[in-house]
Amino acid sequence: MNHQPIEGFSKLNKQGKIDWLVTEYLDGNQEYQNILKQYWNEDADLQKLHEEFSENTISNFYMPYGIAPNFLIDGKLYALPMAVEESSVVAAASKSAKFWLDKGGFKTTIINTEKLGHTHFIFKGEPHKLQHFFNFKLKKKLLEATEEITANMRNRGGGILNIHLIDKTADLPHYYQLKASFDTVDSMGANFINSCLEQFGKTLREEVAKEEEFTQEEKDSLQIVMNILSNYTPDCIVRAEVSCPIEDLKDDSGIAPEEFAWKFKQAVTIAEIEPFRATTHNKGVMNGVDAVVIATGNDFRATEACAHAYAARDGQYRSLTHCTTDDGIFRFWIDLPISVGVVGGLTNLHPLVKFSLALLGKPSAQGLMSVLAVSGLAQNFAALRSLVTTGIQKGHMKMHLLNILNQMGATEDEKQYFVNYFKNKTVTHHEVISEFNRMRGQ
Ligand code: MEV
């Protein structure tokens, strides 16, 4: 059936939206109404709060919220909140945390916290005149014009760090940037940065129009294309690492510590040189990072984009983690560029986000960066540890077993039977189904 477009969907109330959807797309089947409604919260205020986070909301989409305990980070114990739907991510994080708990835990270092944004513009005039104008007039004007916007941030110890004029005309004719760096302290700072940049755009237009050194033609050639923060923040970066004598790398699979260290380092090196493997390797890193990013109300699309841009910074996509095994010491680390906030955004609104931040001891943005890098490193350690020993399916399928059984409508007793059945063997989809059918006499 061909569907009809709708005018004014956003103006309909929630029930109106659902009625229209069910009629237009779901053959009027009222079952679908019930699916949506069973996720509404009984607490009307809480429901309204969630609905107002976004537009055209008709229900809530649950995500499991789990805890990975026993993370020793810079000498302090943490239980990490993780919002993730993929089975085995939380279990893997917990396993890594435990592994490193008696080996000194995770150490982190904030390398820098600088955020970036640009005013992208076209100017068809003399480049040296533009540079001179920027150096001696515009830069000062840009700072003055944003004084009101930056006042609060400056009081909190942040603000605009620097502004540069960048000539990009070799890449695109007449293309320049005002490239600004910011310290946004404990906020992610997207709104702050974008407000500053939009003011830069206005001031640039006004000041060029007034500038006597430019010809009328040069003035008329100015086009502000856009003002926007960059989600690529290679100078907002945190390092997390673990290390121990190789002989301490004892694994339940029975592999000798030296062989484990050698294979593990090979696996990391492969991800450093081979983009196909690097993509999966970094996906595993982001399993850990995103789960905590989401649980703390931060923007996982931004952190994903940034991490992958950084992983490709020399022109080839590579591993975000690194490993050495020199002088009998196993060392494994990540340099993670990540911009997150602990104030603003959802942080004061979403009750579970408040809970997550309280659980983490109300960290600063830098403290949260450390936790996120650790979560990514731990997740990658767990994945590589499985990959170079038992293989990934053993642990993964064990966690996935309940999904398969739920899909088949297994009872609680049947689920318990299967947990015991697969205690000492690798779960396969095929074996679950044939044993299930055998048990039910089918
Ligand atoms: C699965 O979500 C992630 C892994 O594939 C990561 C990896 O291969 O390193 C296990």
Which residue has tokens 């760090």? 161
- Considering only residues 142 and 401, tell me which one the structure prediction assigns the higher pLDDT: 142
CA 416 to CA 167: how far, in whole Å? 66
pLDDT over threshold 80, residue 104: yes
Is the pLDDT at 397 greater than 90? The verdict is: no
Domain boundary among 229, 255, 271: 229
pLDDT at position 359 is 98
In this structure, are 284 and 188 located in the same domain?
no
Which tens digits make up the pLDDT trace of 366-395?
A: 999 999 999 999 999 999 999 999 887 777
**Which of 179, 209, 229 corresponds to the end of one domain?**
229
- Whether 392 lines ligand 1, by a CB cut-off of 6 Å, is yes
Residues 156 and 222 reside in one and the same domain? yes
Average pLDDT over residues 5-33: 97
Q: How much is the pLDDT for 423?
A: 85
Overall number of domains in the chain: 4
Q: What is the DSSP string of 219-241?
A: HHH-EEEEEEEES--TTEEEEEE
Mean pLDDT, residues 153-171 taken together: 98
Cα gap 422→105, rounded to integer Å: 32
Same domain flag for 258 and 376? yes
Mean pLDDT, the chain, integer: 96
Statement: residue 401 has pLDDT above 90: no
Residue located nearest, by CA, to atom 1 of ligand 1: 284
CATH, residue 200: 3.30.70.420
183 CA → ligand 1 middle, Å: 34
pLDDT at 41: 97
pLDDT-derived band at 399, boundaries 50, 70, 90: confident
Decide whether any atom of ligand 1 lies within 6 Å of the 395 Cβ.
no
Residue 345 exposed, middle or buried by CB count within 10 Å (0-12, 13-18, 19+): buried
For residues 372 and 400, state if they share a domain. no
Ligand 1 centre to CA of 176 (Å) is: 41
- What residues act catalytically? 86, 283, 299, 396
Query: What pLDDT digit, counting tens, does each position of 171-214 carry?
Result: 999 999 999 999 999 999 999 999 999 999 999 999 999 999 99
Q: For residue 135, what pLDDT band results from cuts at 50, 70 and 90? A: very high
Distance 68 CA to ligand 1 centre (A): 18
Return the closest-CA partner of residue 288 out of 393, 377, 396, 355: 377
Within 13 Å and on the Cβ side, how many CA atoms surround 61?
A: 7
The verdict on 216 and 361 lying in the same domain is: no
Q: Do 209 and 268 belong to one domain? A: no
pTM of the model: 0.93
In a domain, 69, yes or no: no
Query: Which atom number of ligand 1 is nearest to the Cα of residue 271?
Result: 9
Residue 392 confidence (pLDDT): 79
What percent of the chain shows pLDDT beyond 90? 89
Q: What is the pLDDT of residues 171-181, one digit of tens each?
A: 999 999 999 99
Q: Which residues pair with 333 in a beta bridge?
A: 241, 322
Ligand 1 midpoint to CA 94 (Å): 16
Query: Is 77 within the bounds of a domain?
Result: no
pLDDT, position 25? 97
Determine the residue type at 268. Answer: V
Query: Residue 141: its pLDDT value, please?
Result: 98
CB neighbour burial string for 184-206, b if at least 16 within 10 angstroms, e if fewer: bbbbbbbebbeebbbbbbebbbe
For residue 207, tell me if it sits in a domain.
yes
Q: What is the CATH number for 273? A: 3.90.770.10
**Beta carbon of 287 within 6 Å of any ligand 1 atom:** yes
Q: Above pLDDT 70, what percent of the chain?
A: 100
pLDDT per position as a tens digit, 310-350: 999 999 999 999 999 999 999 999 999 999 999 988 888 99
3-state helix, strand, coil in the chain (%, to 5): 50, 20, 30
* pLDDT at residue 255 in the model: 95
Asked, for residue 342, whether it belongs to a domain, the answer is yes
Assess if residue 274 is contained within a domain.
Answer: yes
Residue 176 confidence (pLDDT): 98
148 and 124 part of one domain:
yes
Give domain status of residue 2, yes or no: yes
The label of the residue with tokens 């760096």 reads 181
Whether residues 100 and 249 fall in one domain? yes
Q: Which of 195, 229, 263 is the last residue of a domain?
A: 229
Based on the fold, state whether residues 283 and 378 are members of the same structural domain: yes
Band (402; pLDDT cuts 50, 70, 90) = confident
Residue 93 class from Cβ within 10 Å (0-12 exposed, 13-18 middle, 19+ buried)?
buried
Verify whether ligand 1 is closer than 6 Å to residue 393 (CB atom).
no
Q: Do both 238 and 378 map to the same domain?
A: yes
Q: Are residues 2 and 133 in the same domain?
A: no
User: Considering the domain boundaries, does residue 73 fall inside one?
Assistant: no
Where residue 424 falls among pLDDT bands split at 50, 70, 90?
confident
Q: In the prediction, which pLDDT does 393 show?
A: 79
Secondary structure (3-state) at 64? coil
Angle between helices 365-387 and 89-101 (to 10 degrees): 100
pLDDT score of 384? 98
Residues 95 and 170 in one domain: no
Q: Whose CA is nearest to atom 2 of ligand 1?
A: 284
Range of the domain at 410: 396-439
Residue 192 lies in a domain: yes
Q: State CA 258 to chain mean position distance.
A: 34
- pLDDT-derived band at 152 (thresholds 50, 70, 90) equals very high
User: Tens digits of per-residue pLDDT, 72-83?
Assistant: 999 999 999 999
Tokens of 78: 């943490």
